[in-house]
């Protein structure tokens, strides 16, 4: 087990390039088993979630090779339709494999998915949609057993724009017989990226990024060579880090439109934001003001994956902020750890009231989930004194070389084996 030791109070200066999006790469890896031809995904981030998904593919019989930052998947010899319970419980995104395995083999077995402990995150939307596509589903002793003779297109409506359910439907319907029309689809950029990836393989999908996605089933998919979009959540985390610490930082590679509400909120805090092409520059040279209200919503609303980081920022700003979490019911588990550093935050159900206290102080804190862990790192960077951030396995799920990137900006941070 590793920990970060962070000496806070250093301003950040410099430029970094965003990694490929974790939330895009994982469904792309799941989609790679849809073809017997080779698939190469470029600039894949070396994070533990990617390693876990690669191991799932290997256990299904695929050959997976990492070379120079790229990953190549050859699924010609894949023959298994069962995902081990150990890997399923480790990785929430393993649920994407249901659609892919049903398309490839007509069968799929997996345990209920795990991942970060941020709420129940039921997969009823996934299962109900699969049933409409002709899948028979049995739930037995914590396992989901799926089978179908032939996937058939259908008209589907999601009661909530679930990212995972939308992606699973694309993977299940891409080679189904006939047309599938999905209403109420999630609009996240990662949905568009999955559509573009599948279309590069020969799929016929249109409408991703809107409420309605239309999938015309095809009989075969080919291999492809693909570069995913950059990680808007990672980029947003480092932009918030500069706001917390002060200084001037440029993040390269990310589409500013995917972070529209975050940039608005950072301007509201008092930061200066400049956007040019795929570069976002932030400057912070004084104590910031609290956001009056931040409310998480599905895209294009404020991202739930940046909620914890903005709480860390507001805890050191001037004034008070109300943060409302609409997507996950237990996503404030990081708050007791921030309080160890002197934060004044009161949680009531899905809302957190933050009173800015100025500077936090160093403390030993533990990561409980990926984004909450990132928030603790940002708080430690802006705090007075030395902090220890424990349980880095959560952070390593989604951030590649976080300490290296922060060091390049002037942070005093080091990884220590406990």
266 and 209 in a common domain: no
115 pLDDT above the threshold of 50:
no
Cis peptide before 300 (omega within 30 of 0): yes
Two tokens at 341? Answer: 């550093």
257 and 184: one domain? Answer: no
Beta partners for residue 386, in sequence order? 7
Find the angle CA(270)-CA(380)-CA(280) to the nearest 5 degrees.
Answer: 40
The model's pTM? 0.95
Q: Given 171, 199, 226, which residue is the final one in a domain? A: 226
Question: What's the whole-number mean pLDDT along residues 354-376?
Answer: 96
Q: Is the pLDDT of residue 75 over 90?
A: yes
Instruction: Please tell me the total count of domains within the chain.
Output: 2
69 and 137 share one domain:
yes
Q: What is the CATH number of the domain that holds 201?
A: 3.65.10.10
Kindly state whether residues 202 and 321 are assigned to the same domain.
no
Cα(104)–Cα(118) distance, integer angstroms: 32
* Ramachandran assignment for 110, one of left (phi > 0), alpha (psi -120 to 50 degrees), beta (any other): beta
**Given pLDDT bands bounded at 50, 70 and 90, which one contains residue 123?**
confident
Query: 292 and 218 share a domain?
Result: no
- Between 286 and 168, residue with greater pLDDT: 168
Q: What is the average per-residue pLDDT within 116-122?
A: 46
Residue with tokens 């930061």: 271
Q: Are residues 252 and 283 in the same domain?
A: yes
Any residues with CB less than 8 A from the CB of 10 and at least 6 apart, and which? 245, 381, 410, 411, 412
Judgement on whether residues 9 and 124 belong to the same structural domain of the protein: no
The enclosing H or E element of 6 equals strand 2-7
Is 116 tagged catalytic? yes
Average pLDDT, the chain: 94
Question: Tens digit of pLDDT for each residue in 279-294?
Answer: 999 999 988 999 999 9
Contacts of 79 (CB under 8 A, 6+ apart): 60, 61
Greater model confidence, 238 or 81: 238
Confidence band, pLDDT 50/70/90 cuts, at residue 52: very high
pLDDT average, residue stretch 146-157: 95
- What range defines the domain where residue 144 resides? 22-226
pLDDT at 86: 79
Share of the chain above pLDDT 70, in %: 97
Q: In what order do the strands lie in the sheet with 143-147?
A: 107-111, 143-147, 136-140
Alpha-carbon Rg for the chain in angstroms = 21
Q: Is the pLDDT of residue 117 over 70?
A: no
Same domain, 274 and 213: no
Output the pLDDT for position 287: 85
- Average of pLDDT values for 397-410? 98
Contact 77, 62 (CB under 8 A): yes
Q: Are 291 and 265 in contact (CB under 8 A)?
A: yes
Give 202-254 pLDDT, tens digit per residue: 999 999 999 999 999 999 999 999 999 999 999 999 999 999 999 999 999 99
Least confident of 85-99, 137-151, 270-284: 85-99
Pair (8, 38) in one structural domain? no
Domain boundary residue, one of 188, 207, 226 = 226
Question: Based on the domain organization, do 123 and 104 belong to the same domain?
Answer: yes
Q: Which of 200, 139, 148 is nearest to 177 (CA)?
A: 148
Active-site residue identified among 116, 146, 148, 224? 116
Q: Is the pLDDT of residue 125 over 70?
A: yes
Judge if 272 and 397 occupy the same domain. Answer: yes
More confident residue, 303 or 116: 303
What is the rounded distance in angstroms from the CA atom of residue 49 to the CA atom of residue 210?
28
Q: Residues 375, 367: contact at Cβ < 8 Å?
A: no
Q: Please report the pLDDT score of residue 50 as a whole number.
A: 96
Query: Quick one: 112 and 178 in the same domain?
Result: yes
């Amino acid at each position: 087990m590793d920990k970060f030791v962070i000496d806070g109070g250093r301003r950040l200066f410099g430029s970094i390039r965003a990694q490929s999006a974790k939330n895009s790469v994982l469904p792309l890896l799941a989609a790679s088993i849809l073809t017997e031809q080779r698939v190469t995904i470029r600039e894949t981030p070396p994070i533990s979630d990617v390693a876990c998904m690669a191991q799932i593919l290997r256990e299904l019989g695929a050959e997976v090779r990492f070379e120079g930052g790229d990953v190549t998947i050859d699924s010609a010899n894949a023959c298994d339709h069962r995902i081990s319970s150990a890997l399923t419980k480790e990785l929430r995104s393993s649920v994407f494999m249901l659609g892919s395995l049903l398309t490839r083999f007509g069968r799929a077995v997996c345990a209920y998915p795990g991942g970060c402990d941020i709420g129940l995150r039921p997969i009823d939307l996934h299962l109900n949609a699969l049933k409409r596509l002709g899948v028979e589903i049995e739930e037995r002793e914590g396992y989901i057993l799926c089978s179908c003779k032939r996937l058939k297109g259908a008209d589907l409506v999601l009661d909530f724009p679930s990212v995972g359910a939308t992606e699973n439907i694309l993977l299940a319907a891409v080679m189904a017989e006939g047309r599938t029309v999905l209403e109420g689809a999630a609009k996240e950029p990662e949905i568009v990226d999955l559509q573009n990836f599948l279309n590069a393989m020969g799929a016929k999908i249109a409408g991703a990024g809107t409420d309605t996605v239309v999938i015309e089933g095809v009989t075969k998919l080919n291999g492809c060579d693909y570069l995913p979009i950059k990680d808007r959540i990672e980029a947003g985390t480092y932009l918030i880090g500069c706001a917390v610490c002060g200084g001037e930082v440029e993040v390269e590679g990310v589409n500013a439109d995917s972070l529209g509400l975050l940039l608005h909120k950072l301007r509201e805090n008092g930061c200066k934001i400049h956007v040019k092409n795929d570069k976002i520059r932030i400057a912070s040279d004084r104590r910031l003001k609290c956001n009056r209200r931040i409310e998480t919503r599905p895209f294009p609303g404020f991202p739930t994956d940046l909620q914890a980081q903005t709480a860390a920022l507001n805890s050191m700003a001037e004034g008070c902020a109300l943060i409302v979490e609409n997507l996950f019911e237990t996503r404030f588990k990081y708050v007791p750890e921030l309080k160890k550093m002197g934060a004044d935050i009161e949680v009531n159900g899905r809302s957190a009231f933050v009173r800015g206290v100025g500077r936090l102080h160093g403390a030993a804190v533990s990561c409980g989930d990926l984004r909450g862990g990132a928030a603790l790192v940002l708080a430690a960077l802006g705090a007075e004194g030395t902090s220890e951030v424990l349980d880095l396995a959560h952070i390593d799920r989604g951030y590649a070389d976080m300490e290296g990137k922060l060091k390049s900006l002037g942070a005093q941070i080091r990884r220590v084996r406990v």
